[in-house]
Structure 1
Amino acid sequence: MKATLIGLVAAILLGPAASAAPTTTSFDDYLARVMHDTGLPGLAVVVTEGDRVVHAAGYGSDSEGAPVTADTPMRIASVSKSFTATAVMTLVEDGRIALDEPVADQVPGFTMADPRFTGVTVRHLLNQTSGFSDTTIDVTGLESAGSLADHTAGLAPASLAADPGTRYEYCNANYDLAARLVEVASGEAFGDYLARHVFGPLGMTRSAVSAADVRPADGYNSVFGAWVSRPELPGFLDSSGAGGVITTAADLGRWLISQTGHGTRLLSPEGLRTTHTSSAVADYAMGWIPEDGPGGVPLLVHPGNLFTYTAVQAVVPSTGQGFAVLANSAALQDDTYDILNGLIAVAQGRDPAPAGGGRQVFELVLGLVALVAAGLGVLGVRRSRGWARRRAGTPAWRVAPRFVPVLAPAVVLAAYPDLVSVLMNGRAVTWAQLTYFAVPLTITIVVAALAGAATAVARLVRLRATVH
C-alpha cells in the first residue's frame, strides 16, 4: 500500500455531513482543480451512495486524443482482485468450491516443489496467506504464461516462504491460481465466467478481462513532467485474476453499489461479509483491505498499479458510499489516493485538500540531478589528465579509494532492481518495469552511472599513461 493510504483513512466520514448528497457541480469543481494541479492526461471517477450513482464523469483525454468519459475503458490492475474473490465466492455458495479445503484437491495440475503446498486452502489464496512469495516464485517468468492453466503449471518448481495460513505476503500468484480454480470449478474460461456471473448481472457491459473483448486505450508515463503515451508493458494480463480487469467508471459504479449490499446482489450477506473480513494473521481480506476511520467507521480499500494505469476503490459499508478513481497514467507519484481522499471530503461537504504538484517538483529535481551529473561527468573527463598527473607515483592503495565516489552510481545502477524490490517489501521488479512508471529515476541513475564510469575510465587511462 502507498503511504497516501494514511491520508485516505484520515478523510473518512466524521459526522452527519456524510449523509448529505453533494451536488454534481461540487464534484466537477474539485476535479477540474485536480486536473489543473496534477496535470494528469486523463481521469475517470465514480461516487455512489446506497443504490444510486451520485457522480460519474471523465476528464482529460486518452492516448488517441478522445475525451475521457465515465465510459472510457481502463485497466484497473490489482483492483481486479476483488472481482476474482467474488467470482470464487459465488462458486463457494453454489457448493462447487470448498473455501477451507486444499487447492491441490480442487485444481488438477497444481503442484509445487515444496510439499507444504498441499496445505494451501482457497481461503489462504484469497487472504494472501498461502505462503506464496515473489521471493520463492518466479513471478517474472510466469508473465510469459499464455493461459491460467499454463500459469498454474509454472508453479511446479516453486516453494513457499512460510507455512500456509501463518503469514501474510502480497503475491499475484495467489489470485491467478484462484482464477484457475474458477475455471476448473465452473467449466468455463475465467473471462466467460466473470461475464456471465459478475459483469452481466450487474450490467457492466464495458468490462472484461481481455483486451480482445474490451480494448483500453494506451496510457501514459510521466518523463520529467511531460506525459508520454506508451502501450502497456507486455505480460500476463488477459485472463489474469490478479490484475486483468478492464472496466469503466460507470461500470464500477454498479460494482460499488453491489459491494455495499445494495442493488443487484452477487453474494449472500454472509458471503459478502466473508470477502470483506480480514484473515486471522493480517488486515488483508479478500481483494479488500479493511481500515478503521476516525470514530471507528470501517472503510474498505484496494489500489491498482500497472505501468500505464493507476486506480483505487473504496467503500464505506456502514453508510453505503462507494468511490473509485481511474487514471490512464502511471508515474513515480500516484495521485489517485489524494484524489479519492478529496472525493470523500466533498461527499462529506468538507473542503478537500489540494491534490497534485509533488510529481512535477520531484521529477524536476531528478532532471536537474541528471543534468548536474552529466556536467560533472564531462568535467571529470576533461580534468582527468591533471588528476592523473597529480597522483603520478602515488601507491595504488592510496589512489584506489579515489575511484569509489565516481563509481558509486554504477554500483547503485547494478543493484537498482534489487534495491527497488526491497523498498516494495520484496515484490519482484524487472528492468523493463523500471523503464515505465519509474523512468525519470531510472534515467537519472543511468546518467549518473555513465558519468561516473566515464570519469573513472578517463582517470585510469591517464594514470596508466603517466606510469609508462
Structure 2
Amino acid sequence: MIGEWIRRRLPELIEEHGVVGAQVAVLHNGEIVDAAAGVLDNVTNEPVTSDSIFQIGSITKVWTATLVQELVNEGLLDLDRPVRDVVPEFRLADERAASVITPRQLLCHTAGFEGDLFYDTGDGDDMLAKYLERMAGTEQTTPPGELYVYCNSGYVVLGRIVEVLRGKPFNTVLRERLLDRLGLGNAATRHAEYAGRRCASGHLRGDDGMKPVTEKTPDGDSPAGSVLAMSARDLLAFVRMHLGTTEFDAMRETQVVPPDFGFGGRQGLGWVLHDYDNGLSGLGHVGSTPGNQAYLRVIPACGLAVAVLTNGGAALSVARAVHEKVLGELANVTLREPPEPPAVPVPIDVDAVVGVYRTLRADIHVTAGEQGRVRVRAALRDVDDAPAVIEEYTGFRDDALIAVEQEDGRHGVVVLCGRDEKGRVKWLHWGRVAVRR
C-alpha cells in the first residue's frame, strides 16, 4: 500500500539526497495517509512529526486565489474590471498600466510589472497597505496582458483586494474563511504564530554543510507565500475541499499558456495546470522560501493529491521519486522527463540574442561563446560583493536555450520572447523572471 511505501521509503530518500527533514501526504478517494522523516533543525535535531509545520511558499497563492474566487462567487468582485475599482491607491511607474490592470491578470501573472518586491513593511494590520505604497515606482517589464511573467507582488495586490472587500486584514480573512473552516488550527499565518508550534527551519548549504536559515521572510509578502506554514496533511485537507465542491471549479480553467520551459503546463486562476501522458489533467503548484521547498500535485479525476514538504537539500529529487511512485501506481501517470541539452544542439541566432538585458536588481550580459553557444553573465546591482553568475547555454529549440551545466539537479531553460524592429530578441524568459533588452 502507498502509506506503507512512503513511511518506509521517505527516510531512505532524504538520506540519499541530503534533505534535512520532510513530510509526505497522499490523498486518495477522500482518505489521507502521511509520513515524516528527518529533523526540523539540524542544530537542535528535533524530529519531524506529522503535526510539524513547514512553510509552503508560493503554494499560498492558491489559497489567496481561493479567497478571491469567493469574492467573485458572491458578486463582490469582477475579475475583468481594473484593480483601481477596488483599490484606488494602486500605483505603478506606468500610470496607463496601473489604470487598466485587472485582478485576472494578477491571478495569471500577466500584469507585466516587476514581481520580486520583497518589502519589509512590518507585521501590523496595515502591512499590505504599506506594501502598495512602496509599489508606486514599480516598473513594467511587459505591457499588461502581453506575456506570462511570474509575479509575487501581484499576489500581494490581490491580498489587499481581499482586505478591502472583507473589511479585515488578509491574515484574519485567511484564517476565518479557510483555516477555521477546515479545522486547521495548527497552521500559522504570521511569523508570530510560529511560537509554540513545531516549525521546520529552512536550511541552505554553506562551506561546511547545511545550516539553518536565520533571516526571516517579510510578513508583508504573505499573500504571495512568505509566511503560511502547515503540515502536509493540512495542505491536503485544503485540496480535499477543492475536490469536494464545484465552488472553485473556475480556478481550473485555462487562462494563459506560458512559454514552454521544458515541462509544458497551463495557468489557471492560482493553479498551475498539467497534462499527463495518459490523457489525464492535473493541478498543482510549487513553493519556495529560503531553505524550504514544497510540492503539490493533484489529479481530480482520480481523487488523488500528493504533497511533499521539505526544509533543505536536494528536495526536487525526493519529490520526483515520490510523484513517480504515487502518481504512477494510483493514476497510471508517467512524469515528463526533465529537459536535457540535445545531442545535436539547435543552431542559435547569436546576433539576435547577444546584448544587455536588465531587471530591477540585475544586469544580464549575453555574449557569443564557443561552439555556437552563448555566455550569460548576471550581476546583481543591490548586493555588495555579490559574485556575478556566469552560465553557458546551447540551443534547445528554435525559441529556447538550455544551460550546459546542471543547477539543483536540472538544466535551466530560457525562452526567447518577442523581436524588436531589428529582429533582436526582446526578452529572455526563465519562467520566474523575464528580462528586457
Q: In the alignment, residue 267 of structure 2 is paired with which amino acid? A: Y
For the Cα contact (< 8 Å) 2:13–2:318, is it kept in 1?
no
Q: Which residue of 1 aligns with 2:100?
A: 119
Q: Which residue of 1 aligns with 2:402?
A: none
Q: Which residue of 2 aligns with 1:334?
A: 316
For the Cα contact (< 8 Å) 1:206–1:214, is it kept in 2?
no
Q: Does 1:164 align with 2:126?
A: no
For the Cα contact (< 8 Å) 2:114–2:138, is it kept in 1?
no
Q: Secondary structure at the match of 1:107?
A: coil
Which structure has the greater CA radius of gyration?
1
**Tell me, which stretches of 5 or more residues in structure 2 are unaligned?**
259-265, 336-360, 367-373, 388-405, 408-437
Q: Which residue of 2 aligns with 1:34?
A: 13
Q: Cα offset for 1:60?
A: 0.8
Q: In the alignment, residue 279 of structure 1 is paired with which amino acid? A: Q
Q: Which residue of 2 aligns with 1:128?
A: 109
Q: Which residue of 2 aligns with 1:218?
A: 201
For the Cα contact (< 8 Å) 2:201–2:213, is it kept in 1?
yes
The 5-angstrom pairing of residues 352-371 of structure 1 reads: none
For the Cα contact (< 8 Å) 2:25–2:35, is it kept in 1?
yes
Q: Which residue of 2 aligns with 1:43?
A: 22
Q: Which residue of 1 aligns with 2:174?
A: 194
Q: Which residue of 2 aligns with 1:148?
A: 128
Q: Which residue of 1 aligns with 2:34?
A: 56
Identity %: 26
Q: Cα offset for 1:211?
A: 1.5
Which of 107, 112, 117 pairs up with 1:139? Answer: 117
Which of 241, 245, 253 pairs up with 1:277? Answer: 253
Report Cα offsets for 1:208-267 as digits up to 9, x if no partner: 320212343322112368222222x334235611113111112112012123x22xx4xx
Q: Which residue of 2 aligns with 1:109?
A: 89
Number of residues of Structure 1 aligned to a counterpart in Structure 2? 339
Q: Cα offset for 1:341?
A: 2.1
Q: In the alignment, residue 135 of structure 2 is paired with which amino acid? A: L
Report Cα offsets for 1:254-300 as digits up to 9, x if no partner: 012123x22xx4xxx1x422212221453222222111101221111
Q: Cα offset for 1:306?
A: 1.2
Q: Which range moves more in the overlay, 124-133 or 339-348?
A: 339-348
Q: Output the CA distance in 2 between the equivalents of 1:299 and 1:247.
A: 23
The 5-angstrom pairing of residues 419-458 of structure 1 reads: 431=383
**Tell me, which stretches of 5 or more residues in structure 1 are unaligned?**
1-21, 354-415, 436-440, 443-468
Q: Which residue of 2 aligns with 1:287?
A: 270
Q: Output the CA distance in 2 between the equivalents of 1:291 and 1:29.
A: 29
| TM-score relative to the length of structure 1 | 0.65
Q: Output the CA distance in 2 between the equivalents of 1:275 and 1:429.
A: 38
| TM-score relative to the length of structure 2 | 0.69
Q: Runs ≥4 in structure 1, deviation > 6 angstroms? A: 349-353, 420-424, 426-430, 432-435
Q: Does 1:65 align with 2:45?
A: yes
Q: Output the CA distance in 1 between the equivalents of 2:34 and 2:3.
A: 9
- The CA RMSD over aligned residues, in Å, is 3.4
For the Cα contact (< 8 Å) 2:256–2:267, is it kept in 1?
no
The 5-angstrom pairing of residues 259-408 of structure 1 reads: 259=242, 261-262=243-244, 265=245, 269=246, 271-282=247-258, 283-329=266-312, 334-345=316-327, 347-348=329-330
The structure-2 alpha-carbon separation of the partners of 1:286 and 1:429, relative to structure 1 and needing over 3 Å to count, comes to: farther
Q: Which residue of 1 aligns with 2:395?
A: none
Q: Output the CA distance in 2 between the equivalents of 1:433 and 1:181.
A: 39
Q: Output the CA distance in 1 between the equivalents of 2:379 and 2:298.
A: 27
Q: Which residue of 1 aligns with 2:350?
A: none
More strand by share: 2
Q: Output the CA distance in 2 between the equivalents of 1:122 and 1:352.
A: 35
Q: Output the CA distance in 2 between the equivalents of 1:35 and 1:47.
A: 18
Q: Output the CA distance in 2 between the equivalents of 1:166 and 1:351.
A: 33
Q: Output the CA distance in 2 between the equivalents of 1:150 and 1:343.
A: 45
Q: Cα offset for 1:144?
A: 5.0
Q: Which range moves more in the overlay, 315-324 or 199-208?
A: 199-208
Report Cα offsets for 1:342-362 as digits up to 9, x if no partner: 342564398999xxxxxxxxx
Report Cα offsets for 1:282-340 as digits up to 9, x if no partner: 32222221111012211112111111111010100111101110001256x73354244
Q: Output the CA distance in 2 between the equivalents of 1:182 and 1:198.
A: 13
Q: Which residue of 1 aligns with 2:357?
A: none
Q: Does 1:236 align with 2:218?
A: yes
Which of 160, 174, 187 pairs up with 1:180? Answer: 160
Q: Secondary structure at the match of 1:290?
A: strand
The structure-2 alpha-carbon separation of the partners of 1:209 and 1:339, relative to structure 1 and needing over 3 Å to count, comes to: farther
More helix by share: 1
For the Cα contact (< 8 Å) 1:167–1:281, is it kept in 2?
no
Q: Cα offset for 1:428?
A: 8.5
Q: Cα offset for 1:417?
A: 6.0
